[in-house]
Amino acid sequence: MTDDILPRIKKILTDQFDVADDAVKPDAKLAEDFRLDSIEGVELIFALEEEFGVEITDAEVKEITTVGDLVEAARQKLAAKADA
């Protein structure tokens, strides 16, 4: 279930944020490497929440700086949802 998280995030980044396909790697930084500003960061979280049907708190958003952080946030939320 969690195997397809990275491809789904990659699709959001390439479709909605003009990020090149091969640039989407776990250690890629959202602000520095993709040049997303703070408002785009909020949009990205919106897109993520919608894609996975989860909610990420403002405090959690502050900890997200890389693609890997996005994947991990989605994985944790999906796991929490499955347990509930």
The tally of CA atoms less than 13 A away on the side-chain side of residue 12 is 21
The Cα–Cα gap between 4 and 43 comes to 21
- Cβ closest to another protein, residue 43 vs residue 72: 43
Among the listed residues 1, 3, 22, 39, the single contact to another protein using CB under 8 A: 39
Per-residue DSSP letter, 36 = -
**Shortest Å, Cβ 66 to another protein:** 20
Our finding on whether 25 is near another protein (CB under 8 A) is: no
Q: Which residues bind another protein (CB under 8 A)?
A: 16-18, 39, 42-43, 46, 55
